[in-house]
A and B are shown apart, each in its own frame.
Chain A
Amino acid sequence: MSNDAAARTGTDTAAGTKPARTFWGGLSVWAPYTALMKLATASPRRQFVILAAFPILWVLTQHLGPMLQMLRVSLTDAYPVAPGVEQHFTLDNYTRFFGERIFWQPFFRTLIFAGVLTFCTLILTYPVAYFLARHVSRKNQMLMLLLLLIPFWVGEIVRTYAIMILLGNTGAVNLVLKWFGLIDRPVPFMYTTFSMGVGIVYLTALYMLLPLYSALEKLPKSYSEAAADLGAGAWTRFRRVTLPLTLEGISSGCTLVFLISTGFYATPVLLGGPSTTVFAETIAGFFHVAGDEWPTGAAFATIMFVTAMLLTGVFQKLMYTLRKGDTK
């Protein structure tokens, strides 16, 4: 009997004595346990169900549960329910959005901001990911990634304040510009579309970078070399080889960044100005108001969620079609 087998059976062949059985050793030979295990692993289907149960339960209670509760609140006329008030189901909270134009502007502004900023993030991070995946040695790639991750060790608010320190009237950027004699008066970077855009791109860059890096890192260099051998220039190699083969990474990165950007609240509040109100601020306004406005806020949140998911679905479908077209 091998040592492993001896350990499994709990016998000691050398001494010939029976050592004290551990808890786990005892459990493994406990009849009810072995019967249960036998029952649980009787078929691959049953194994799958048992393995999937926890993640499904997690998603249902931690992810879908709150969203379903939000949906339920959005269909009521009062929440939290005050004493003596009867709660009724209604669609008024949804019709309020479609009936009042003042809510459309921040809604569409948010979608446009999110789309434009997603594109900007892609343009800015693609060269970084490309450099990291193709020109940094394997040994140093992890170190570089770690360096890029450092800002994510602190929270969103702290990073947003860092942007404020950079862009404020007395911030680092204005001080440098003044020091070089390029300006006399501070440039009002803060509380503008620019400062909000910088903040959101900064906060979401890593969500774009990692899928891009992953896609580029998997791409064999030999593909580009083969294209070069066939006479393709640098731009053609990028356009005809690298870009199509990293569409999956682009798709994942853009989806992540777009969805995160549609939901940003603190960053637009802290960095944005009077003309950059995003839909998350409108939604938050309903939850701040001391009254029965939660259902309206919940309805608006649901509308944004459904719209963002629809747009993402269309985008994913488009990218899928592009990828399929390129592989034909």
Chain B
Amino acid sequence: MTKNTFSRRHFLGTAAMTGAALASPVYLRSAKAAGGEVNIWTYNDFVPKAFKEQFEAETGIKVNVRLVDDQGKQFNLLAAEAPNPTVDIMTVAGHRFLQFIDSELLAPLDTGRLSNWGNINPTFSESDWATINGSKWGAPILSGMEVLSYNTEMVSAEEAASWDVLFSEKYKGQTAYIIQDMMSIVMLMLGYDGNMVAYMDDPEKAAAIVEEAKQFLISKKPLVRKYYDGGAEVQQMFVNQDIALGHSWNGPAAALINDGFPLAMSIPKEGSYGFVYTYNIANNAPNVDNAYTFLDAILASPEIGASMTKASGFISTYKDASNYLTDLEKASTSFPEEQLANLQFFRAEANELKYNLVDPAVEAVKAA
């Protein structure tokens, strides 16, 4: 009896694996067994587990993922290893390209080696920030934005229409945010350009604006429950009901919504910022060929893009990826048109000016 059960399970397991293989993208089935490895630094859930297993099985290339949770940390890790890094593929946000390029940490992307490049929505692959010095530097995979997330059982949609609610006495001790990200948003709230591009020729004005934003956040410090750093932290605070609302990236919030948590997101009327995560190849990457094989494979089908969205909550940059999402998943990764109108993308031009002012201000807010 036991033997029969095992055989049946074994058969069912084999059948399921065969079915999955047959249903997999053509690219993977035809991939040659290349062997070796590819080392990737990326965020949690950015490499779908099923894709990774299938890719490894069909190409013989072992995928080593090292998780990162911050662009700055990733930059420092790479800078410390340059000029001979151990990593092949990193995950750089589009607005951080310049910094990596200036430090010679990224290799230009040879899109001619990516037969599936055309599967990316041109809104992302061909936008102005994607081309620098005449070259592409990354393959856009997921798009995110800074949103106001709120527990729908505690906060109303009307209240969440403005960032002001995050600093209201009503929700004292029930809010959380990432200070560095909030600095840009507070600048928007105060009527300034949070990208600071408008003040590139006026450093004094830029400094005064950052000082104003800093003083604003210091004055609101008694109201906040927690300054956090990563998506998992804010998810945990919502689940434990330690907070009722907070600033977050849309990805972690969408993941909670998809899990059935009573959470919603808004892009408040004062505005917010969007960003695009890209996969990039490191300068002097040790396994360049395997890196291109991986990139082409992960771009192969909208299903893979959809699975990245399902796992991470961020919006896929792949054409037609939304066709593979459930209604709830679609709802958690889309926003009303009037809210999207409040969104602008982070820009990199004034990053040096901006972060030279913002980074000490963040420390000052923490220390105050």
Contact = CB atoms under 8 A, between A and B. Distances in A.
Contacts of B239: 170
A274 B368 CA distance: 9
A293 interface: yes
B1 interface: no
Interface stretch (A20-28, A99-107, A208-216, A318-326): A99-107
Nearest to B239: A170
A83 interface: yes
A83 B241 CA distance: 48
Interface string B194-235: 000000000000000000000000000100111101000100
A186 B241 contact: yes
Q: Looking at B79, B102, B355, which has the most chain A CB atoms within 10 Å of its CB? A: B79
A293 B236 CA distance: 31
Contacts of B368: 102, 105
A282 B82 contact: no
B367 interface: yes
Nearest to B82: A80
Contacts of A102: 360, 363-364, 367-368
Interface string A285-322: 10111110110000000000000000000000000000
Among A82, A168, A269, A291, the most chain B Cβ lie within 10 Å of the Cβ of A291
Contact of B75 (A169, A281, A290): A290
Given A83-B104, A102-B367, A277-B366, A169 B72 contact: no
A188 B240 contact: no
B79 A82 contact: yes
A275 interface: yes
Interface string A258-291: 0000000000011001110100011001011111
A269 B227 CA distance: 9
Interface string B98-109: 010011100000
Interface secondary structure of B, over-half rule: helix
Contact of B359 (A190, A287, A289, A294): A289
Contact of A287 (B76, B240, B360, B362): B76
A266 B241 CA distance: 22
B207 to A, nearest CB: 15
Interface in A123-159: none
Interface string B327-368: 000000000000000000000000000010001101110111
What's the interface size class on B, roughly? 35 or more
Contacts of B75: 290
A161 to B, nearest CB: 9
B265 to A, nearest CB: 22
Interface in A232-282: 269-270, 273-275, 277, 281-282
B225 A169 contact: no
Interface string A160-172: 0000100011110
B74 to A, nearest CB: 8
A169 B240 contact: yes
B242 interface: yes
A274 B367 contact: no
A113 interface: no
Contact of A294 (B76, B229, B363): B76
Contacts of A105: 367-368
B242 A277 contact: no
A309 to B, nearest CB: 23
Given A102-B364, A285-B363, A290-B96, 17 more contacts: A80-B76, A80-B82, A82-B103, A83-B83, A83-B104, A100-B360, A102-B367, A171-B240, A188-B225, A270-B233, A273-B226, A274-B226, A282-B363, A285-B366, A289-B72, A290-B71, A290-B99
Interface of B: 70-76, 79-80, 82-83, 96, 99, 102-104, 173, 221, 224-227, 229, 233, 236, 239-242, 355, 359-360, 362-364, 366-368
Question: Sorted from nearest, which 4 A-B pairs have the closest CB atoms?
Answer: A290-B75, A290-B72, A168-B240, A80-B79
